[in-house]
Structure 1
Amino acid sequence: MTTSWFLYLLECNNGAYYAGITNDVEARFATHVSGKGARYTRANPPIKIIASKPYPDRSSASVAEAQLKSLPRNKKLQYFNE
């Protein structure tokens, strides 16, 4: 059985986007909300999951995360529709 990895995009309470990868989007979101996630989301708690996209493995999800983070804000949501 293979586990999919996901690239996800959150909206934080300051209006900023936060991107990351995980193999369980809901659990990772809960971790961020509880203040135990990334340093950025501890200071700027997320309010919702905006988008997620599956990848076959961690490596490809990590490459996609780097690509997403290099885009300007107005192109980030569009990335999930490609």
Structure 2
Amino acid sequence: MPYTYIVKCADGSLYTGWTTNLETRVTAHNSGKGARYTRSRLPVTLVYYELQPDESQARKREYAIKQLERKDKEQLIAGFTVS
């Protein structure tokens, strides 16, 4: 199942990505084997995710979220509870 997700880094910055295994991906970020961006900003915390119908849609949504201003990303996160 593909997901688009946002993690909050230790420095307060937000990183957006996509994956087919959310738990494994967050673990990879926190072990320093995730994205280059997050390696120097550990630990990260999952703050938002969306289930997507397929990988193509996950990538498109990742791109769309990355184009948002921070305040818009924060609005997405504010209305979401990670379960």
The percentage of aligned residue pairs carrying the same residue is: 37
- 1:10-29 correspondence runs (5 A): 10-29=7-26
- Cross-structure match for 1:75: 72
- Alpha-carbon RMSD across the aligned residues, in angstroms, is 1.4
Secondary structure of 2:68's match?
A: coil
Moved over 2 A (4+): 77-81
Shift of 1:23: 0.8
Shift of 1:79: 4.1
Secondary structure of 1:18's match?
A: strand
Moved more, 38-47 or 27-36: 38-47
Segments of structure 1 that go 5 or more residues without pairing to the other structure are none
User: 2: distance between equivalents of 1:63 and 1:26?
Assistant: 21
So what's the TM-score if we normalise by structure 2?
0.86
So what's the TM-score if we normalise by structure 1?
0.87
Q: Residue 7 in 1 paired to residue 7 in 2?
A: no
* Number of positions where the alignment pairs a residue of Structure 1 with one of Structure 2: 78
Segments of structure 2 that go 5 or more residues without pairing to the other structure are none
